[in-house]
């Protein structure tokens, strides 16, 4: 019986063995050679009878080819080892996360990594690895909530929020028949005054905001104010569309601002015929009633509780003629959030865009007023409201109010 795995350099025995593209007979009876990978690689197999000593294995292989194949095999093994060691945590099999929460967390991370405004400032391999470590052992999507909240904290934009299902239902499902704090009137000194709180909730709530706000503005307009005070103090944000729908007639027609994405792409805010829209999307409501003065002078009031959608309105008045701002710096999140509804009812309010004014200037951080006055919350609207007093004095000096 021939030894297992025999190899012999039969070139020394025959001196004439050639590697052909077709099978050839080995010099020794009982073996057959077939072509290998290269022209100098011939392998022989047992065909029947016991081989002679000179035909031991009947194989010719060029030493360089043999080393080259072994080197390639080692390289493949090393690459496989590196791939296994660097395997993404998303598919790591030893973290104990069940398939459903794993898919849930992966989808949330993919969304944030793809669309977040500050996505380019995050070490995503490390953030993802940490998220899956934090979610270890999760059996339901709820077990991944702390990991998602950790990723949002890592973004560092100060605006993105994660709403668990109950909070999301309350935020988007609340229905109100009256909006507290949404008022308009004509001040004794002559200008009109409108206070615009933030709003979020059901479509019914948003409709209520627009109907109530526009009715209040028209009631004040019937007294023919010479200008307007737009009070955004305490407007912490929410849905910007109803707020703009109320104030659009005061703001006036034209390009009033824009969202700016991380890639620099701009989505314009436009008022046309007293109706507001974002980009190419149609307006949410019919046009408001016209004012007696199409471009009245406007004083804008802000404070540290003016945020998000409130800051968007602040930005829209920047660069507008006959406009000045009073009060305190805004909260410092002049960015746009997009709601993304997850499979279990939770929502990621993801910061995806910066806000820019009509001149093209994008805003970062708190927005300072033209004239700064500290006013405590309890003093707003009273005789101690220094910002309102300064605003009405300035309006009194404008041509329409003299």
pLDDT at 48 over 50: no
Tens of pLDDT, residue by residue over 312-371, are: 999 999 999 999 999 999 999 999 999 999 999 999 999 999 999 999 999 999 999 999
Tens of pLDDT, residue by residue over 155-174, are: 999 999 999 999 999 999 98
pLDDT at 122 over 70: yes
Q: Beta strands of 132-265 (E only): which ranges?
A: 161-163, 183-186, 192-195, 228-231, 254-261
pLDDT at 59 over 60: no
Query: Which two structure tokens, joined as six digits, stand for 83?
Result: 């791939």
Taking residue 78's Cβ as centre, other Cβ atoms within 10 Å add up to 10
Give the model's pLDDT for residue 21.
35
Query: Which two structure tokens, joined as six digits, stand for 174?
Result: 């609340």
Question: How far, in Å, CA of 391 to CA of 300, rounded?
Answer: 8
Mean pLDDT of 176-188: 96
What does DSSP assign to residue 61?
-
Asked if 28 and 56 touch (Cβ cutoff 8 Å), the reply is: no
Specify the pairing of strand 335-341 against strand 275-278.
Answer: unpaired
Question: How far, in Å, CA of 304 to CA of 101, rounded?
Answer: 39
Question: How far, in Å, CA of 337 to CA of 107, rounded?
Answer: 18
Question: How far, in Å, CA of 43 to CA of 3, rounded?
Answer: 15
Give the model's pLDDT for residue 13.
40
pTM given for the model: 0.76
Tens of pLDDT, residue by residue over 229-287, are: 999 999 999 999 999 999 999 999 999 999 999 999 999 999 999 999 999 999 999 99
Mean pLDDT of 28-53: 40
Q: Hey, which residues does 323 pair with through a beta bridge?
A: 298
Taking residue 29's Cβ as centre, other Cβ atoms within 10 Å add up to 13
Which alpha helices (DSSP H) does 304-385 contain, by range? 309-317
Give the model's pLDDT for residue 69.
63
Mean pLDDT of 36-56: 40
Give the model's pLDDT for residue 288.
93
Specify the pairing of strand 42-46 against strand 31-35.
Answer: antiparallel
Give the model's pLDDT for residue 50.
44
Taking residue 154's Cβ as centre, other Cβ atoms within 10 Å add up to 17
Give the model's pLDDT for residue 33.
39
Strand order in the sheet with 24-25: 24-25, 31-35, 42-46
Tens of pLDDT, residue by residue over 193-230, are: 999 999 999 999 999 999 999 999 999 999 999 999 99
CA-wise closest residue to 182 among 265, 142, 238: 238
Asked if 387 and 150 touch (Cβ cutoff 8 Å), the reply is: no
Give the model's pLDDT for residue 92.
52
Least trusted range by pLDDT, from 41-55, 192-206, 297-311: 41-55
């Amino acid at each position: 019986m021939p030894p297992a795995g025999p190899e012999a350099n039969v070139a020394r025995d025959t001196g004439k063995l050639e590697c052909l593209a077709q099978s050839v007979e080995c010099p020794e009876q009982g073996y057959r050679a077939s072509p290998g990978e290269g022209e100098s690689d011939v392998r022989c197999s047992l065909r029947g009878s016991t081989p002679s000593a000179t035909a031991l294995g009947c194989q010719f292989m060029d030493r360089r080819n043999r080393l080259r194949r072994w080197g390639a095999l080692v390289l493949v093994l090393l690459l496989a080892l590196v791939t296994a060691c660097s395997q993404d945590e998303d598919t790591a099999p030893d973290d104990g996360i069940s398939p459903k929460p794993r898919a849930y967390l992966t989808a949330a991370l993919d969304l944030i990594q793809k669309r977040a405004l500050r996505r380019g400032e995050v070490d995503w391999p490390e953030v993802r690895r940490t998220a899956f470590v934090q979610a270890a052992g999760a059996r339901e999507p709820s077990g991944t909530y702390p990991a998602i909240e950790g990723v949002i904290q890592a973004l560092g934009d100060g605006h993105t929020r994660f709403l668990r299902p109950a909070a999301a239902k309350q935020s988007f499902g609340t229905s109100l028949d009256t909006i507290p704090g949404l008022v308009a009137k004509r001040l004794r000194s002559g200008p009109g005054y409108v206070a615009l709180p933030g709003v979020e909730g059901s479509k019914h709530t948003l409709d209520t905001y627009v109907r109530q706000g526009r009715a209040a503005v028209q009631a004040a307009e019937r007294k023919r104010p010479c200008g307007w005070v737009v009070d955004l103090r305490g407007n912490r944000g929410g849905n910007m569309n109803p707020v703009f729908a109320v104030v659009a007639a005061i703001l006036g027609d034209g390009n009033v601002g824009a969202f700016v994405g991380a890639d620099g792409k701009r989505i314009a805010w436009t008022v046309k015929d007293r109706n507001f829209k974002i980009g190419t999307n149609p307006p949410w409501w019919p046009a408001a009633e016209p004012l007696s003065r199409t471009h009245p002078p406007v004083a804008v009031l802000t404070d540290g509780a003016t945020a998000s959608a409130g800051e968007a309105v602040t930005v829209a008045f920047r660069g507008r003629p006959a406009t000045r701002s009073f009060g305190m710096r805004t909260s410092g999140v002049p960015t746009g959030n997009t709601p993304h509804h997850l499979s279990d009812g939770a929502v990621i309010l993801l910061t995806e865009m910066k806000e820019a004014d009509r001149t093209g200037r994008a805003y970062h951080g708190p927005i300072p007023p033209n004239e700064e006055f500290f006013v405590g919350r309890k003093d707003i609207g009273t005789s101690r409201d220094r910002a309102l007093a300064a605003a009405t004095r300035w309006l009194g000096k404008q041509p329409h109010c003299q």
